[in-house]
Structure 1
């Protein structure tokens, strides 16, 4: 099995500068489709503190970050950042559930640098080695599909982050691959993501409620994980490159809810 073992900025800087707007727009379209499914299931309100549009796209680097919350969703982020006319874009759709259930959170990211990259994971709400029943409910059923994808898609190259925290944050069945920007590969990514979102929505509908006295501790753990992942993401360096430290810090807070005005679900 081949492997990608480079920093994001290293891959970008060592590649030719090309216009990847077509791939970027296709990736945006995939996330829009997935968000529509999520919007249809949950009651969501856009947080007024969301950064919204920033930068000078399409003339130069830019982006948009929208964050949402609702009775069942602690924090949902739909965002992109980059400069597609100069080889790079980073897109996110992440849903952090409220503490009323223990279904794993949903994480999705797409990247073009100028090759393609995608990530999808179900972030656990407990220690997987400690909680065998939780593992068997949400992770054991994914093993066959995860192994099949890895064995059958030779053009998808496993991505190993050079940052140990990011490696530690992945579940055993995460997707984290680089791939050539061919149309058929984007179709494959789209199919995988739709399947994963559909499965996740079924889990949400079938979930047992968490006892009220256990919810505050779960909510606290969720927020700590979300903030750590946002603040420790090595790709934040691209935000600093394009927009400076102050704007990047604001965007990172947008990812974890540091400036939120909407209440957290109780």
Structure 2
């Protein structure tokens, strides 16, 4: 097991300029499959604040992307997005679902990157301090430990990604997948297998969840929003957005990630 300790922008700058469109297309298709599973479970509406971000920039001839955010009775904020320049080595794709405060199930996090090597992140973001809530850890994280260790030990070309930014390191749960990898068929298939299992398991958690007491929901919703905003605003990869699209557009895209311009009220309001 090796380790990568670099910012995404540095990895990109140190890599050759190549067309990574095949990997980008494969990962677009994977996220579309995963989103279809989520769409089938939840009632979701596109928030008007991101309607004109369905396409921005001028892809494929120059940098571009898409950011669409959805909300619904059970979902506070779901983001389906990509940003980059696939014909020149880079694409960053996201599918994240932040649940409403009616349940305390972890939020769903998925990110895929090509730079031109591959990188993937899969996590269930906890909504309570794990060290203080052993029952929550035992329910959602302890059952994942064996498979997490198996993947780490079995696939020798995975390189654990350690962000140089401490805040980003702190955002990972103990069973997060966060690896650099070759974009071979074997490793792309591994990511697809893990991602589908991740979404299927998470949907099962949602279906089995007990409701949160009504008088606890406002505090949970406030904590969720603070976490989402901090992760979005503090991500070092935002520097690539500034490089491609300028500070003003990047600031709007970041607000789209956490819902800073949302039109539809948050669930429960």
* TM superposition score category, shorter chain reference: over 0.9
- In 1: Cα distance, 2:25 partner to 2:189 partner: 13
Q: Mapping of 1:219-238 within 5 angstroms? A: 219-238=221-240
Whole-angstrom distance in 1 between the partners of 2:261 and 2:219: 21
After the TM superposition, which of the residue ranges 198-207 and 46-55 deviates more from structure 2?
A: 46-55
- For the residues of structure 2 that align with 1:169 and 1:17, how far apart are their CA atoms? 31
Choose from 97, 100, 124 the match for 1:98. 100
Tell me the equivalent position of 2:121: 119
Q: Per-residue deviation at 1:53?
A: 1.1
Query: Structure 1: which 4+ aligned runs deviate by more than 4 Å?
Result: none
Matches within 5 A, 1:78-227: 78-227=80-229
Q: What secondary structure is seen at the aligned counterpart in 1 of 2:55? A: strand
Q: Deviations over 1:101-128 (max 9, x none)?
A: 0000000000000000000000000000
Q: Calculate the aligned-residue CA RMSD, in Å.
A: 0.5
- Give 1:42-81 correspondences, 5 Å limit: 42-50=42-50, 51-81=53-83
How many pairs were matched up?
Answer: 266
Alpha-carbon shift at residue 52 of structure 1 (Å) = 2.0
Q: Distance in 2 between matches of 1:262 and 1:190?
A: 32
Deviation at residue 155 of structure 1 after TM alignment: 1.1
Which position in structure 1 is the counterpart of 2:27?
Answer: 27
* Unmatched 5+ stretches in structure 1: none
Q: CA deviation at 1:183?
A: 1.5
Aligned equivalents of 1:54 and 1:125: distance in 2? Answer: 33
Query: Deviations along 1:29-71, whole A, 9 cap, x unmatched?
Result: 0000000000000000000111221001011000000000000
TM-score (norm. length: structure 1): 0.99
Shift of 1:184: 1.6
- Report the 3-state secondary structure (helix = DSSP H, G, I; strand = E; otherwise coil) of the residue aligned with 1:191: helix
Aligned with 2:66: secondary structure? strand
Q: Aligned partners of 1:6, 1:169: CA distance in 2, in Å? A: 17
Is 1:39 aligned with 2:39?
A: yes
Q: Which residue is 2:13 aligned to?
A: 13
SS at match of 1:117: strand
Local SS of the residue matching 2:109 = strand
Instruction: Provide TM-score, normalisation by structure 2.
Output: 0.98
